[in-house]
Amino acid sequence: MEKKFFTISVYSENNVGLLNRISGIFLKRHINIEGLNVSKSEIKNISKFTIVVFTTEDWTRKIVAQIEKQIEVIKAFYHTDEEIIYQESALFKIASHLLFDERQIQNIIKESNSQIVTVSRDFFILAKTGRRHEIDEMHDELEPYGIMQFVRSGRIAVTKAAMPITALLNEYENNN
Amino acid sequence: MDTMTKKKTTHKNPKKLRVSGAEAIIHCLLAEGVDLIYGYPGGAIMPVYDELYKFQDKLTHILTRHEQGATHAAQGYARVSGKVGVAMATSGPGATNLVTGLADAQIDSTPMVCITGQVPRHLLGSDAFQETDIIGISTPVTKWNYQITTAEEIPGIMAKAFFIAKSGRPGPVLIDITKNAQFDELDFHYEACTGVRSYQPTPVVKAEALEMAADLINNAKKPYIVFGQGVILGEAEKELKAFVEKSGIPAAWTILGLSAMNTDHPLNVGMVGMHGNYGPNVLTNECDVLIAIGMRFDDRVTGNLESYAKQAKIIHMEIDPAEINKNVQVDVALLGNAKETLKKLLPKIKKNSHETWHNEFKLKYEEEFKTVIENDLHPKKEGLTMGEVVEEINKASKNKAVIVTDVGQHQMVACRYAKFDQSKSNITSGGLGTMGFALPAAIGAKMGAEEREVVAIIGDGGYQMTIQELATIYQNKTAVKIVVLNNDHLGMVRQWQELFFESRYASTVMTNPDFVKIAEGYHIKAQRVSERKNLKAAVEEMIAAKEPYFLEVKVEKEDNVFPMIPSGASVSDIRLK
Ligand SMILES: Cc1ncc(C[n+]2csc(CCOP(=O)(O)OP(=O)(O)O)c2C)c(N)n1
Written as one string, the DSSP assignment of B487-500 is -SB-HHHHHHHHHH
CA-wise closest residue to A112 among A94, A87, A137: A137
Q: Do the Cβ atoms of B197 and A69 come within 8 Å? A: no
Q: Cis omega (within 30 of 0) on the bond before B563?
A: yes
Q: Which residue spans within B217-320 are E strands per DSSP?
A: 223-227, 251-253, 268-271, 289-293, 313-318
Give residue A171's pLDDT. 77
* CA B564–ligand 1 middle distance (angstroms): 17
Instruction: Quote the mean pLDDT of chain B.
Output: 96
pLDDT in tens, B541-560: 999 999 999 999 999 999 99
Q: Do the Cβ atoms of A66 and B322 come within 8 Å? A: yes
Q: Whose CA is nearest to atom 11 of ligand 1?
A: B490
Q: For residue B534, is pLDDT > 80?
A: yes
CB B494 within 8 A of CB B557: no
Q: Which of B261, B492, B542, B564 is catalytic?
A: B492
What per-residue string of b and e applies to B464-499 under the rule 16 or more CB within 10 Å gives b?
A: bbbbbbbbbbbbbebbbbbbbbbbbbbbbbbbbbee
Q: Which of B67, B131, B469, B552 is catalytic?
A: B67
Q: For residue B487, is pLDDT > 80?
A: yes
pLDDT in tens, A30-76: 999 999 999 999 999 999 999 999 999 999 999 999 999 999 999 99
Tell me the percentage of chain B whose pLDDT exceeds 70.
Answer: 97
> Looking at the domain A87-152, which fold is it?
Alpha-Beta Plaits (3.30.70)
A169 touching B, CB under 8 A? yes
A176 touching B, CB under 8 A? yes
Q: Do the Cβ atoms of A17 and B145 come within 8 Å? A: yes
Q: Which of B130, B422, B468, B475 is catalytic?
A: B130
What per-residue string of b and e applies to B63-88 under the rule 16 or more CB within 10 Å gives b?
A: ebbbbbbbbbbbbbbbbbbebbbbbb
Count H helices and E strands in chain B, helices first. Answer: 24, 20
pLDDT in tens, A140-168: 999 999 999 999 999 999 999 988 888 88
CA-wise closest residue to B539 among B394, B330, B336, B329: B394
Using the atom order of ligand 1, give the atom closest to the CA of residue B463. Answer: 15
Q: What is the pTM (predicted TM-score) of this model? A: 0.95
In chain B, what are the domains?
Answer: 17-188 (3.40.50.970), 207-361 (3.40.50.1220), 379-554 (3.40.50.970)
Confidence band of B414 (pLDDT split at 50, 70, 90):
very high
Chain B: residue whose CA lies nearest to A62: B326
User: Spelled out in words, what is the top-level CATH class assigned to the domain A4-82?
Assistant: alpha beta
Q: Where are the domains of chain A?
A: 4-82, 87-152
Angle among Cα B346, B333, B352 to the nearest 5 degrees reads 30
Q: Do the Cβ atoms of A172 and B198 come within 8 Å? A: yes
- Residue B129 among the catalytic residues: yes
- Residue B67 among the catalytic residues: yes
Q: Do the Cβ atoms of B195 and A66 come within 8 Å? A: no
- Give residues (CB < 6 A) around ligand 1: B 406-410, 433-436, 459-462, 485, 487, 489-493
- Residue B130 among the catalytic residues: yes
Q: Which residues in chain B are closer than 8 Å to A16, comparing Cβ atoms? A: 147
B179-183, B198-202, B481-485, B526-530: least confidently modelled range: B198-202
Query: Model ipTM?
Result: 0.90
Facing residue for B139 by CB, picked from A20, A68, A175: A20
B265: Cβ–Cβ under 8 A, 6 or more apart, which residues? B241, B244
Give residue B3's pLDDT. 43
State CA A176 to chain mean position distance: 34
CA-wise closest residue to B27 among B71, B58, B61: B58
